[in-house]
Amino acid sequence: MTIKVAECHEAYNALMSVAVAYGKASQLAKSMNKRGVAAQMLVKAADYWGLSGDIPKYGETLAKAAKEVG
């Protein structure tokens, strides 16, 4: 459901909201012990933070994704 929310926000070009939605999708995946999916959602969130111009948040989110993989 949170991925669908991200897609809806993307349709309205609300990039920060897309990033937040993917971040929440990552949290949900992590709570279900799906670390690979959680990492993928964090990478998508990071991409949208970067597109929105929030470079520090972009880097922060990529670092979180790396922790999920490692």
**What pLDDT, on the 0 to 100 scale, is given for residue 69?**
87
* Whether the model pTM is above 0.85: yes
**What pLDDT, on the 0 to 100 scale, is given for residue 70?**
75
What range defines the domain where residue 14 resides?
2-69
Q: How many domains does the chain have?
A: 1
Residues 39-51 pLDDT 10s: 999 999 999 999 9
With contact defined as beta carbons under 8 Å apart, do 22 and 41 qualify? yes
Q: Which residues contact 65 (CB under 8 A, 6 or more apart)?
A: 39, 40, 42, 43, 46
Q: What mean pLDDT do residues 21-37 have?
A: 96
With contact defined as beta carbons under 8 Å apart, do 38 and 46 qualify? no
Instruction: Grade residue 11 by pLDDT with cuts at 50, 70 and 90.
Output: very high
Q: Is the pLDDT of residue 3 over 80?
A: yes
